[in-house]
Amino acid sequence: MPFFGFDRVMGCSRADLARWLAELTGSDHGMAATGRADIPLDWGTLGVVAEPMAPRVIALARIQQLRVRFVYPDGAQEHARDWVTRFDRHTQRGGG
């Protein structure tokens, strides 16, 4: 699976992101209320920051968008990359 980086635009609402975090970790870690989650992990605290963007408009469809940044402690990039890759797998939608 390709790695999409620590800064991305996601077609979802903050409620969607909070739900996915809760499914993956057992808590939304404050995402629903504040737009930021601080997730304590064995290797440090991973911050997830969601900032609303203008909706993407395709014909008559309007898709909510968030700029999502994953902020990791110094020296934990590989651990953070593994966690974000797991998050990406969790949020993949089915097809076929």
Give 37-57 pLDDT, tens digit per residue: 999 999 999 999 999 999 999
Question: How many Å apart are CA 63 and CA 56, to the nearest integer?
Answer: 5
Domain 7-91 belongs in CATH node 3.30.70.120: no
Task: State the residue for tokens 């920051």.
Answer: 49
Other beta carbons within 10 Å of 9: 13
Confidence of residue 96 (pLDDT cuts 50, 70, 90): very low
Average pLDDT of 59-85? 96
- pTM (2 decimals)? 0.88
12: pLDDT strictly greater than 80: yes
DSSP 92: P
